Amino acid sequence: MSSDKKKMTRGELGLQVIIFGLGFFYAIVYYVAVPGIVDLQAVSDQLLAYITAVLTAAFAIGVINLTRVHYFNIKRKRATWRYSIILLVSLFSMLVFSVIASPFALDPNAAVIPAGVIQFSTPIWDFLYYKVLVNINSSIFSLLAFFIASAAYRAFRARSLESTILLVAGLLVVLGQAPIADLIWPGFSIIRDWIMAFPNTAGQRGILIGAALGIVVFSVRRMIRYPW
Amino acid sequence: MFELIAGRISQAVLLIIVLAAIYEVTRIAVKKKLKTRGIPGLERINEWIKEAAKRGRPVFFTPGTGVITTPDTLASMTLLGYVAKHCVEYGAQIIVANSDPQVQQLTEDIVKGAYTKAGKEKEFTPDMVRYVSTRQFAYAAGVMGILRREKPAVNFFVGDFQAEALQVAEAGRAEALYQFGGTTNTDQLSFFATTCDQTLIGEELYTAQGYLSADPEAISKLVGPDAGKILAILLILVGAVLVTFGNSLLIYLLGL
């Protein structure tokens, strides 16, 4: 990595100047104002608007990548080529119906697209979004319950001193969280609150402070050196 | 002419102090050639990639669901560069899955660059670096699908992860020989710790570059952020003592 230091090309140097300039500008805008001369915040907001435009364009690149990967899956009849057909049909049908009939439709007042097409497409988009997409999303999310159970089983095994401490702390928190815990012994919820408020918070804040300092150093390093 | 924005003055002063401390400690560390402790996981990356190449199975990498401006995502690019370089070197196929189209462009550039640097640009194919979906659970489903179908030998989940973290990590656990996770998201770190063979915890993600480098100077530079941590600890201690005795001077100063 940094051992293979080499001279920057002109392009890399130009890019580095832009990275440093923009990074420095955003850092300055956060702390400093120049009243009466220039509204730095407005300039920064304007630059962010350009970023939004670039981000939107990047979505098109994402769609091109997805189409290219799955097109070649189908063309070369790879093992899962049938799934690729489903993906491409879903992608482009959702794209077409979203453009015509979603809340972000391009022509909601039917100035160009015939009103009949919009009327025909609206229930289809509703079905695809609310009956298919939302439900699939919820199903994938709910898989977490099973994954948490298997991860907890793996974590809560007393193999070493550390994992035993984790097991005991975990059990006490789970017990303290259960509605029946206070009926068994009121101390469970006090122990749970203490574990969550002190050792847990202290550990999390330690990680956060370290990460924040890491981000500062990493950002400065990135601002002054481009190649990854 | 210039005016410091009220409420951010103390932050600016602290930032300057921290940066100055980091610079000074780094300078001393480089001069004295200080050594830091190793991160065991990083030392084993090479072995794992070699093993993947030997078994003819791919190496999988995903930077999570962060966008191009997310610090964790950017930090993970350093590791991707290292992994891609060694995949090319040992002849292991690399698969990268992205949830953000801009990050996909960046990862493609890094992987393609690794092949080009090694003079093997013809071996790079566009389906090595894939855009999956910007929607969190569609991305999770896509990644789980790739893991099940392509059965990579090594999984790298390094970057910004939210609720999908456990799904991708558990799916990987079921398929891969080795798993490597890394994030600063404390809510998801516990899941990585239980499902991965090695985990980069918090700031380790940002210091990975130094550890992976063979350059002794880069290793010495890792000591720098510790100066910031010592300052933070001192501030916490002084603040705790002052507040205990009813003095709110530090709270006032930090609020400036």
pTM (2 d.p.): 0.86
Domain closes at, from A44, A76, A108: A76
pLDDT for res B217: 65
Residue A1 pLDDT more than 50?
Answer: no
Please indicate if any CB of chain B lies within 8 Å of the CB of A2.
yes
**Residue whose entry in the numeric block shows the structure tokens 């480098």:** B213
Residue A3 — very low, low, confident or very high, per pLDDT cuts 50/70/90? very low
Domain closes at, from A58, A76, A94: A76
In a domain, A65, yes or no: yes
Given a cut of 50, the residues of chain B with pLDDT beneath it are none
Is there a single domain that holds both residue A52 and residue A118?
no
B206, B213, B221, B236: best mutation site toward chain A, by most A Cβ within 10 Å? B206
Across the interface, do B81 and A1 touch by the CB < 8 Å criterion?
Answer: yes
Which chain A residues are Cβ-neighbours of B134 within 8 angstroms? 59, 62
Is there a single domain that holds both residue A92 and residue A43?
no
| Number of domains into which chain A is organized | 3
Is there a single domain that holds both residue A114 and residue A139?
yes
- Distance from C-alpha of A201 to C-alpha of B22, rounded to nearest angstrom: 26
pLDDT single digits (tens) A37-78: 888 889 988 988 888 888 888 888 889 999 999 999 999 998
pLDDT for res A228: 47
Q: Would you kindly state where each structural domain of chain B is located, as residue ranges?
A: 9-34+223-254, 46-212
Each residue of B244-256: b (16+ CB within 10 Å) or e? eeeeeebeeeeee
Is there a single domain that holds both residue A105 and residue A49?
no
pLDDT for res B154: 95
pLDDT for res B221: 67
B123, B115 in Cβ contact below 8 A?
Answer: yes
In a domain, A132, yes or no: yes
Chain A nearest CA to B198, separation (Å): 14
Across the interface, do A33 and B2 touch by the CB < 8 Å criterion?
Answer: yes
In a domain, A1, yes or no: no
Q: Give mean pLDDT, residues A21-42.
A: 88
Chain B nearest CA to A109, separation (Å): 28
B55, A206 in Cβ contact below 8 A?
Answer: no
A172, B211 in Cβ contact below 8 A?
Answer: no
CA distances from A188 to A20, A191, A199 (A): 53, 5, 16
Is there a single domain that holds both residue A101 and residue A71?
no
Please indicate if any CB of chain B lies within 8 Å of the CB of A14.
no
Which chain B residues are Cβ-neighbours of A60 within 8 angstroms? 101
Chain A nearest CA to B52, separation (Å): 21
- Range B46-212 has CATH code 1.10.10: no
Residue A4 pLDDT more than 70?
Answer: no
- Distance from C-alpha of A102 to C-alpha of A98, rounded to nearest angstrom: 5
Strand blocks (E) in B18-121: 59-64, 94-98
B163, B169 in Cβ contact below 8 A?
Answer: no
Is there a single domain that holds both residue A138 and residue A180?
no
Is there a single domain that holds both residue A183 and residue A213?
yes
Beta bridge partners of B158: B182
Is there a single domain that holds both residue A160 and residue A220?
yes
For A:115-144, CB contacts with B below 8 A are 136-137, 140-141, 143-144
Is there a single domain that holds both residue A102 and residue A37?
no
Residue A226 pLDDT more than 60?
Answer: no
Task: Give residue A127's domain range.
Answer: 79-155
In a domain, A2, yes or no: no
Residue A179 — very low, low, confident or very high, per pLDDT cuts 50/70/90? confident
Is there a single domain that holds both residue A142 and residue A203?
no
- Would you call A184 exposed, middle or buried from its count of C-beta atoms within 10 A (0-12, 13-18, 19+)? exposed
pLDDT for res B254: 87
